[in-house]
Amino acid sequence: MAVDAERGGTVGAMEITSSMSGIVARVLVEPGTPVQAGDTVVVLESMKMEIAVVAEQGGVVKEVRVHEGDFVEEGAPLVVLDAHRAES
Partner 1 sequence: MPYFHKVLVANRGEIARRVIRTCRRLGIRAVAVYSEADRALPFVREADEAVLIGPPPAAQSYMAIEKILDAAEATGAEAIHPGYGFLAENPAFARRCAERGLVFIGPRPEVIEAMGSKLAARQLMQRAGVPVIPGWDEPLPTLAEAQRVAAALGYPLLLKASAGGGGIGMHLVSSSEELGRAFDSARERAQRYFGDGTLYFERLVPGARHIEVQVARDGQGTGVHFFERECSIQRRHQKVIEETPSPFLDAERRAALCDAALRGAEAIDYTDVGTIEFVFDQAGQFYFLEMNTRLQVEHPITEETTGIDLVELQLRIAAGLPLGLAQGGIRQEGHAIECRVYAEDPQTFLPSPGTITRLELPEGARYEFGYEEGNTVTPYYDPLIGKVITRGATRSEAIERMIEVLRGMRIEGIKTNLPLLLAICQDTSFQFGRYDTTFLSRPRSGQ
Residues forming contacts to partner 1 in the complex (CB under 8 A) are 19-23, 45-49, 51, 71, 74
Q: CB 45 → partner 1: shortest distance, Å?
A: 7
Q: CB 33 → partner 1: shortest distance, Å?
A: 22
- Residue (45 or 63) nearer to partner 1, CB: 45
- Residue (41 or 61) nearer to partner 1, CB: 41
The phi and psi torsions of 69 (rounded to 5 degrees) equal 95, -15
